[in-house]
Amino acid sequence: MEIFQYTFMLKAFLAGTMIAAIASSLGMFVVVKRFSMLSDALAHISLLGVAIGFLTALSPSYSSLAFTLVASWIIEYLRQHNKLYSDSILSIFLSGSLALAIIIVSASSSFNTSLFDYLFGSIVAIDDDDIVIISLLGLICAVTLYVNFQRFLYIAFDEESAKASGINTTFLNYLLISLVSVVISVSIKIVGALLIGAMMVIPAIIAMQFSKNFKNSVTYAILIAMVSVIAGLFISYYASLPSGATIVVLLLCFFTVSILFKTKRY
Amino acid sequence: MLLKNFKDNVIETKNLDFKTIIQDVSFEIRRGDYAAIIGPNGGGKSTLVKLILGLIPHDNGVIKLFGQAPSLGSLKKIGYVSQGIAKLDENFPISVHEVIKLGLIANKSLFSRITKNDLARIDHVLTKMNIQDLKDAKISELSGGQRQRVMIAKALVNQPQILILDEPNTGVDKQSQINFYALLKDLNHNENITILFITHDLGVIVDDINKVLCINQTLLACHDPRQIYHSEQLNQLYGVDAHMVCHHH
């Protein structure tokens, strides 16, 4: 097929499916913890990190990673200590970071176009370094999730009982949110700050409609996300559409079908 | 013949304080006790349990589990059933088998996996709770009584020495409550599990329990349950002219 003759498309398929697998598996935990807005809030914080990176001539990737990690720890601290409602914390971070990013962008018009790429992502402009970083990240996530799967599940299901049984819920909550923030800061260059939330949350919600257990839900979420990325890249290539937006629209179509199917079935 | 060691304190508090919610609470629960905590809403019952389990730090006083300061090791000997049955997220995709398996996790090291022996223990509690046919069911599809049995199975799978339950009958039908009390009695009498639980149904279980803690900010009484029938402290506890109605089952 013509599409496979282009190296950039092969890289897009590889990076896209890896991000889909990582984001959707972490997304399952985020969704069942009723923390779906977390991915959007962290994506906007990541964008602020990128803007500051451009402004200070630091590497946008590193500044984005640093900002997202620190912000995620503050969010988790506030959540654990019941300082504010979880959704209020996320709302403040989301709008606050976006506002700061806009001010930085307006103050310096020289990097507007570059920042625009981070907002919507460019899945077809992936270089070899991106593939290496995403592969490493995928490996770290896979090992961490495999080792702590039951503990993360216990905390998501009944945090109080998990803590009472002696599980270090504080450390594991920080570990999970750190993984989410790293995945987001690495992914926004490719998927876009406005779209990574959908990649994380929608496959999990679709999977939850049809599964009676958590393990299957994670498997379904990964499969749905990967199929959406592959199909989305095909459609975007042949219909000359933006890849990130096409993937999200496909996910929304799957979600609509899943809701209709479930309503009809039950 | 296995004799119960009734001299052995498994839970002990001395002059325990937490904000204004718990004031100067001292009591002992001995191995083999079947104790109920009663008191008005907002009287500090759940807070007291959370303090014992280390879920919240106390301000003053001493808590001992198995004669020592609470530790990871002592917490692993306690099965806890929270008020989670009533608060359960209906959309959470988790099966009965997965929920019970969670009870084993605290005793596992980072890289150890579920063994055949663990699976046999899960099967054993599924059978004991009479929920073996429900093991693949989604927890949100179960009735209140069935969910209650699942949560107790999760607490029991780790073979605890103490079972602590926080109002486990919320949202559970009457017949399931009767079965539940029979189960607790069996666990206490036949498996020598020490039981401490928060309840509003003292009248139903007064013949089964051997200790009752009346909590309203402070410990008002730590009676033999049969003494509380005519106790002035019931009035003091609830702030109204209260009396206990006994339902024998």
In a domain, B173, yes or no: yes
Q: Yes or no: say if B13 and B70 are a contact pair by the CB < 8 Å rule.
A: no
Cβ within 8 Å, pair B54-A164: yes
In 3D, which of A188, A199, A153 has the Cα closest to residue A172?
A153
| Residue B239, domain member (yes or no) | yes
CB A188 within 8 Å of CB A47: yes
Contact A154 B105 (CB under 8 A): yes
Interface check for B168 against chain A (CB to CB < 8 A): the answer is: no
- Read off the pTM: 0.88
Pair B147, B173 in one domain: no
> In this predicted model, what pLDDT tens digit does every residue of B149-187 receive, in sequence order?
999 999 999 999 999 998 877 767 778 888 888 889 999
The model's pLDDT over B132-142, given as tens digits with 9 standing for 90+, comes to 999 999 998 99
Distance from CA of A173 to the nearest CA of B (A): 15
What DSSP state is assigned to residue B77? Answer: T
Specify whether B32 is located in the same domain as B62: yes
pLDDT over 70 for what percent of chain B? 84
Task: Round to whole Å and give the CA distance between A165 and A157.
Answer: 14
- If asked whether residues B92 and B144 sit together in one domain, one would say yes
Residue A82's CB: how many other CB atoms inside 10 A? 8
Is residue A221 within 8 A of residue A205, CB to CB? The reply is no
Answer yes or no: is pLDDT of B2 > 50: no
pLDDT in tens, chain A (266 residues): 788 888 889 999 999 999 999 999 999 999 999 888 999 999 999 999 998 988 888 888 889 999 999 999 999 999 888 767 888 899 999 999 999 988 888 887 666 667 778 888 887 778 888 899 999 998 999 999 999 999 999 999 999 999 999 899 999 999 999 999 999 999 988 888 888 999 999 999 999 998 999 999 999 999 999 999 999 999 999 999 988 889 999 999 999 999 998 876 65
- Name every residue in A having a CB less than 8 A away from some CB of B: 32, 34, 147-148, 150-151, 153-154, 156-158, 160-167, 207-208, 211-217
B52 and B93 inside one domain: no
Q: Which of A153, A165, A207 sits opposite B75 (nearest CB)?
A: A165
Does B203 reside within a domain?
yes
B3 within some domain:
no
Shortest CA distance from B160: residue in chain A: A165
Determine how many CB atoms are found less than 10 A away from the CB of residue A174: 16
- Determine whether the interchain pair B91/A208 forms a contact, defined as Cβ–Cβ distance below 8 Å: yes
3-state helix, strand, coil in chain B (%, to 5): 35, 25, 40
Interface test with B, best of A165, A214, A215, A258 (most B CBs within 10 A): A165
Could B105 and A212 be called an inter-chain contact, meaning their C-beta atoms sit closer than 8 Å? Answer: no
Type of residue at B160:
P
Same domain, B168 and B225: yes
Q: How many domains does chain B have?
A: 2
Residue B2 lies in a domain: no
Backbone angles phi, psi at A90, to 5 degrees: -65, -40
Domain-located, residue B21 = yes
Same domain, B43 and B64: yes
Q: Do A161 and B82 touch (CB under 8 A)?
A: yes
Q: Does residue B191 sit in the same domain as residue B208?
A: yes
Structure tokens at A71: 């912000």
Is residue B168 located within the same domain as residue B239?
yes
Identify which of A148, A151, A164 has the shortest CB distance to residue B55: A164
CA dist., res. B239 & res. A249, Å (int)? 60
Q: Which of A148, A157, A167 sits opposite B94 (nearest CB)?
A: A157
Task: Name the residue with higher pLDDT: A266 or B74.
Answer: B74
User: In terms of pLDDT, which residue wins out, A191 or B7?
Assistant: A191
User: Would you call B6 an interface residue with chain A, using a CB distance cutoff of 8 Å?
Assistant: no
Q: Are A33 and A26 in contact (CB under 8 A)?
A: no
- Please indicate, yes or no, whether residues B130 and B176 belong to a single structural domain of this protein: no
Which of the listed residues B141, B160, B179 is the one where a domain comes to its end? B160
- Tell me what pLDDT residue A96 has: 94
Share of chain B above pLDDT 90, in %: 48
Q: Decide if A162 and B91 are in contact by the 8 Å CB cutoff.
A: no
| B119 close contact with A: CB closer than 8 A | no
CATH number of the domain encompassing residue B58: 3.40.50.300
Residues B167 and B249 in one domain: yes
User: Does B53 lie at the interface with A, CB-CB under 8 angstroms?
Assistant: yes
Nearest to B55 among A150, A160, A211 (CB): A160
How many whole angstroms separate alpha carbon B46 and alpha carbon B150? 21
CATH of domain A2-265: 1.10.3470.10
From residue B12, give the alpha-carbon distance in Å to each of B28, B66, B224: 4, 8, 17
Residue B111 and residue B153 share a domain = yes
Whether the pLDDT of residue B239 is over 70: the answer is: no
Interacting residues of A151 by C-beta distance below 8 A, sequence separation 6+: A162, A167, A172, B105
Burial of residue A156 (CB within 10 Å: 0-12, 13-18, 19+) is buried
Tell me: do B21 and B96 sit in the same domain. Answer: no
Domain membership flag for residue B1: no
Q: Is the separation of the CB atoms in A181 and A107 below 8 Å? A: no
Q: What are the strands of the beta sheet with B34-38, ordered from one edge? A: B78-81, B162-166, B194-198, B34-38, B211-216, B218-223
Nearest chain B residue to A215 by CA distance is B94
The answer for residues whose C-beta is within 8 angstroms of residue B107's C-beta and 6 or more apart is B76, B158
Q: Residue B230's pLDDT band (boundaries 50, 70, 90)? A: low
Domain with B127, as residue range(s), is 87-160
Residue among A101, A46, A51 nearest A71 (CA): A46
From B122, B139, B160, give the residue that closes a domain.
Answer: B160
**Partner-chain residue, chosen from A164, A207, A213, that has the shortest CB–CB distance to B80:** A164
